A and B are shown apart, each in its own frame.
Chain A
Amino acid sequence: MSQGGPSGPLGPASRPSGRRGVLIGVASVVVVFGALGWVVVNSPNWPLVRDAFFNAKYFWKALPYVAQGFVVNIQLCLISEALVLICGLGIALMRTAPGAVFLPLRLLAVIYSDFFRGVPGVLFIFLFGFGVPALGIPGVPNEPFFFGVLTLVLLYTAYVGEVYRAGLESVHPSQEAAARSLGLSRAQAMRYVVVPQAVRRVIPPLLNDFIGLQKDTALVSFIGVVEVFRQSQIQEAATYNFTPYLASAALFLLITVPLTRVVDILIARDRRRLLATAR
């Protein structure tokens, strides 16, 4: 076992190149995943698990109902996200407003985002969904869907506001100075120079919060909106089988996994750009 073998200075052997590497990778994945699958399927209680969670009959039976519920989640998610993207920017602009005059505005933004990021979302769902309608104030709608959107918007505006703030602060002050030196007002400098650059930089974290919002639409089931989670519960209660939950999980994954990959790609692209300009 001599130290100085025939290998090069960089290690025992160079990494297998090109096609050979791909083949080894594929083979290794097949072996490992195959072994894991074999262990699971051959474990003594597998039939119990399979019948309760992965039952094909119940899956196909539940799927139309669950999918119908999921449409509500998508509606909730899209409406809320549109509002969150606008309100979040508003909160971030409030929080970064300069000067002593705007101190109350900054304080308000800080209190708001601390409050809504620091309390479990499910609490707000009950508070707004049951508490506010119970007040019976005239003119306030009674729709659970409305309060679902309201809660999600209030919650996620706090998170997204912080993302935007990080973006705004990442734009060098010289950019604003250059805009102001052309005679643009501060509002114009923000509108045409700072905000466009800030938003571009925070698209990956914005997408991450979008994924979070998409999942948290299930919270709305607590206040009586029949969406995917509630539909799964209904199906489960009718059959005493848990497969409907897995059906709804599958629907969430259908959206969140591709989005997560998009985020990865965007982050990798930003990293490459950063490395390229750092040279």
Chain B
Amino acid sequence: MSTVPPVLRLEGVHKSFGQLEVLRGIDLTLAEHEVICLIGASGSGKSTLLRCINLLELIDAGRIELDGNPITGVTVDVNRLRRRIGIVFQAFNLFPHLRVLDNVTLGPRRALGQSRAEAETQALALLERFGLAEKAREYPDRLSGGQQQRVAIVRALAMQPDLMLLDEITSALDPELVAEVLNVIRELAKGGMTMLIATHEMGFARDIADRVCFLDRGAILEEGTPDQVFRAPREERTRQFLQRVIEAGRLQV
């Protein structure tokens, strides 16, 4: 079987907020086990794109397919769909009134109908794997930003998603906490997780991505392997963007 459909396929995706056209025809395919990093300036549409894929925003035109099935029709069961797509937000968005363990088990218990025991066993194993076992009974506000974001990643993983969307997950972190979160993602990539990652961490994108897409004003202006995009960008605007990033000390060349 050579015609396995890609995990995710986007075709001509458009999205506007009022007058502002945020996505202007995005085409993108993501194969199983592939990691794609979306780079680009703030406001270029990275976050909106991820939110559209998770149907937190509805697209105005175009088509999004998951495993070859369109997910943008009216007959789509959004709750079932979201269970297969994990998303991690910039601001963690943990549930402050629930302990870490309950944050992680909420989805499996309520959306997947797992028993408490089953969900907790699985959650504890995941927390253990990411060095958070001793935080299981704490409330989120007792954790550092890095720990909170790792919990948010574990919470998404507990749903055993086919695809993970990461929305600038280190942007709200103190610099010394960035590495611990990125290491978790590196491990996930090694484990074969299919991921679409919006990031400002260029060094990380270069290390981890199979492909890098440069978003500019709501369109993918350039895409290629990290080597192509970072070392020999074809587009002038990509060069300018990377130049600014290098000047800001966010990418070593």
Chain A residues proximal to chain B, CB less than 8 Å: 174-175, 177-185, 188, 192-193, 196-197, 200, 277
A229 to B87, CA, bound (A): 60
B206: interface (CB < 8 Å): no
Q: Produce 1/0 per residue, B59-88, CB < 8 A to A.
A: 000000000000000000011111101110
* Closest A residue by C-beta to B51: A177
| Cβ-defined contact, B83 with A183, below 8 A | yes
Chain B residues proximal to chain A, CB less than 8 Å: 54, 56, 78-83, 85-87, 89, 91, 93-97, 106-107, 110-112, 141, 155-156, 159
Which of B91, B106, B141 contacts A182 (CB under 8 A)? B106
| Cβ-defined contact, B89 with A277, below 8 A | no
* Closest B residue by C-beta to A185: B79
Residues of A within 8 A of B110 (CB): 182, 184, 188, 192
| Cβ-defined contact, A178 with B89, below 8 A | yes
Which of A174, A177, A184, A277 contacts B107 (CB under 8 A)? A184
A132 to B110, CA, bound (A): 45
Contact A184:B106 (CB < 8 A) given known A177-B56, A277-B141: yes
**What distance in Å separates the Cβ of A21 from its nearest Cβ neighbour in chain B?**
34
| Cβ-defined contact, A193 with B80, below 8 A | no
**What distance in Å separates the Cβ of A161 from its nearest Cβ neighbour in chain B?**
22
Contact A183:B80 (CB < 8 A) given known A177-B56, A188-B111, A192-B110: yes
| Cβ-defined contact, A179 with B96, below 8 A | no
Residues of B within 8 A of A192 (CB): 106, 110
Residues of A within 8 A of B96 (CB): 197
Apart from A177-B93, A178-B93, A193-B95, what are 16 other A-B pairs with CB-CB below 8 Å? A174-B93, A175-B93, A175-B95, A177-B56, A179-B95, A180-B56, A180-B79, A181-B85, A182-B83, A182-B110, A182-B156, A183-B80, A183-B82, A184-B111, A188-B110, A197-B95
- Interface majority SS (helix, strand, loop, mixed), chain B: mixed
A193 to B112, CA, bound (A): 17
Residues of B within 8 A of A197 (CB): 95-97
Residues of B within 8 A of A177 (CB): 56, 89, 93
| Cβ-defined contact, B107 with A182, below 8 A | yes
A180 to B78, CA, bound (A): 9
Q: Could you list 9 examples of A-B contacts with CB < 8 Å?
A: A174-B89, A174-B93, A175-B95, A179-B95, A180-B56, A182-B155, A183-B112, A185-B79, A188-B111
| Cβ-defined contact, B111 with A183, below 8 A | yes
**What distance in Å separates the Cβ of B168 from its nearest Cβ neighbour in chain A?**
14
**What distance in Å separates the Cβ of B79 from its nearest Cβ neighbour in chain A?**
5
| Cβ-defined contact, B159 with A182, below 8 A | yes
**What distance in Å separates the Cβ of B148 from its nearest Cβ neighbour in chain A?**
12
**What distance in Å separates the Cβ of A186 from its nearest Cβ neighbour in chain B?**
9
* Closest B residue by C-beta to A181: B87
* Closest A residue by C-beta to B112: A183
Residue among A175, A180, A200 facing the most chain B CB atoms (10 A cut-off): A180
Residues of B within 8 A of A184 (CB): 79, 106-107, 110-111
**What distance in Å separates the Cβ of A101 from its nearest Cβ neighbour in chain B?**
14
**What distance in Å separates the Cβ of B108 from its nearest Cβ neighbour in chain A?**
9
| Cβ-defined contact, A182 with B111, below 8 A | yes
A181 to B84, CA, bound (A): 10
A197 to B140, CA, bound (A): 14
| Cβ-defined contact, A181 with B111, below 8 A | no
* Closest A residue by C-beta to B84: A183
* Closest A residue by C-beta to B90: A174
**What distance in Å separates the Cβ of B97 from its nearest Cβ neighbour in chain A?**
5
| Cβ-defined contact, A183 with B159, below 8 A | yes
Which of B85, B95, B111 contacts A178 (CB under 8 A)? B95
* Closest B residue by C-beta to A273: B141
A116 to B80, CA, bound (A): 41
